[in-house]
Each structure stands twice: as structure tokens, then as C-alpha cells.
Amino acid sequence: MASLFTDRRGRFSWIRSLTLLVLVAPGTQLFVQWMTGDLGGRPIREFTHGTGDWTIYFLLASLAVTPFRAVLDWQFLTALRRRIGVAAACYAGLHVLLYVIDQKFNPVVVITEIALRFYLTVGFVVFLGLLALAITSTDAWVSKLGRRWKTLHKLTYPLAALGLFHYFIQSKADVTAAVFVAGLYLWEMLWRLLPRRLRLPWWPLPVLAVAASVSTAMVEAAWYGLATKIDPLMVLQANLEPQYGLRPAVLVLGAGLVVSAWALVVRVRIRTQMRRKVAA
């Protein structure tokens, strides 16, 4: 049975150990910054926001396992998906706990705020969903639920969307980071919408990168148009103006093209190895 540092055969696993360190590192850094007074005048609030951000990042990382395993031939990711998802749930739990601390452990205030503030309600729903998925992530629950386990854990998709919505609202005026992360989520979801025969070849990936980039630009324009009344056409045009820097849509396009190029290299390497085996 696998543990924190070993694989299912009980052998020490470097990849599992390194992944654990990566998952723990952001929380550790935030805690150290809190203790040393490097989180500004409202450290608890900054700590809370930081854990919320990493909840989203790790949640999307868990969703990236399936496409990356397929297009980049990274089979080792399968063994890491659960712990990344559980890490997202742990950061979500810490996020809620820090919010309760910030409210001085006043249950009336906490319950009232969650009930009356829409973005807090959304965030709390995401936390409850991730908690349920984390609890049922063990081998025992997989065996107990059978086919229903996969159905249950497909809730990750809408939970990620709700988490991003919470992230957008929490970001207030500047949603640049939220838009970029949303673009990555769109890439992951668009890949899943591809027919199965188009998920493994590398050549649909550049098209997917363009589609995710365009979708990201539209999400950004729609958000600013609805939330701040800024002309959506001006937001869309900003993606074509160098003086505004690299917009989220451009970064999503770049990330998608990098994955496309990487997948091409992997496919060439696999074909070369197969030819060598046949020749041998």
C-alpha cells in the first residue's frame, strides 16, 4: 500500500516524495511569511487569500494530469493525481479555517457572512465538494463505490468552475491572474471535449491552443463588460496592443503551443524507438 513517501510496493519513491514537498511548499512559505511579519498589515487576510489561490492552482493541476499523461506520455502522473487533489482540498480547508480565525472564531458572524455574501457561499460550496472528494479518494472508497466513484469525482469539473468564479470575484478590479488560470481550465476542458481519436495526436493541440486563447479573451472581455462596464471591444483589442503587455489570452496561447511542441517531440521519440525495435 502506498504511503506519503513510498509506492504501492512499499519502495521509496522519489517522485512521490518530491511531489509532496512541492505541495507543502506554498503553505510553508506563507506560514513563514506570516511568522516573520512579511504579509503586510493584514497578515491573516493575505494568508487566507494565498491558500485560496493555491487551492485553485492545485485543483487545476489535478485536472491537467489526464491530458498531460496522454499527450506527453507522462504515465507517472497517474500515481500523483489523488495526492494533488487531496492537497487542493487541504488548502481549501486551511483557507476556510483562516477565514474563521479572521472572524475571531465567531460562529454567528461566520455563518451569517457565508449565507449572505454570494462569493463566500460559492467558496464554501467548493470547500464542501472538495472535502467530499478527498474523503472518498482512498482505495477503500474506490472499492466501495465501484463505478459510482468515477461519476462522483467528475464533480471536480464544476467545482473548479465555481472555484474560478470565486477567484474572479475575490480578485475585484484586477482579474488578470484569474483570467489566465481560467484560460488554462478552458484548455483542459476543451481537450476533454475532443473525440477520443483526436486526444493522442499532437496536431490538434495547436488548434486547441488557439481555441483556448480566443475563449480566454472572450471571458476577460465579458467579465470586464459585466462587472465594470468597460467596453468589451476595448478589452479584446488590448490583446493585440503590445503596449498593454502580454495579456492572459496570449499567455494561454503560448502555454498551449509549448505543450503542442513538446507533444510533437514525444511522438517523434516514440516513433524512433518503435522503428529501432522493429529493426532490431
Q: What b/e string do you get for 140-174 counting C-beta neighbours within 10 Å, with b at 16 or more?
A: eeeeeeeeeeeeebeebeebbeebbbbbbbbbeee
- The percent of residues in the chain predicted with pLDDT above 90, rounded, is 73
Query: Per residue in 192-215, pLDDT tens?
Result: 999 999 999 999 999 999 999 999
Give the residue from 122, 155, 171 where a domain finishes.
171
Calculate mean pLDDT across residues 203-232. 93
Helix, strand counts (H, E) of the chain: 12, 0
pTM of the predicted model, to two decimals? Answer: 0.93
Give the residue from 127, 153, 171 where a domain finishes.
171
Are residues 160 and 184 both part of a single domain? no
Are residues 267 and 255 both part of a single domain? yes
Are residues 186 and 112 both part of a single domain? no
Are residues 129 and 224 both part of a single domain? no
Q: Identify the DSSP state of 9.
A: T
For residue 174, what pLDDT is reported? 85
Q: Tell me how far CA of residue 177 lies from CA of 183, 184, 216, in angstroms.
A: 10, 11, 12
Are residues 180 and 162 both part of a single domain? no
Query: Per residue in 34-82, pLDDT tens?
Result: 999 999 889 999 999 999 999 999 999 999 999 999 999 888 888 899 9
* pLDDT interval class at 11 (50, 70, 90): confident
For residue 245, what pLDDT is reported? 78
* Domain tally, the chain: 2
* pLDDT interval class at 279 (50, 70, 90): confident
Domain of residue 50: give its range.
1-171
Are residues 122 and 203 both part of a single domain? no
Are residues 102 and 45 both part of a single domain? yes
Residue 249 exposed, middle or buried by CB count within 10 Å (0-12, 13-18, 19+): buried
Question: Measured in Å, how far apart are the chain's first and last C-alpha atoms?
Answer: 38
Give the residue from 171, 189, 212 where a domain finishes.
171
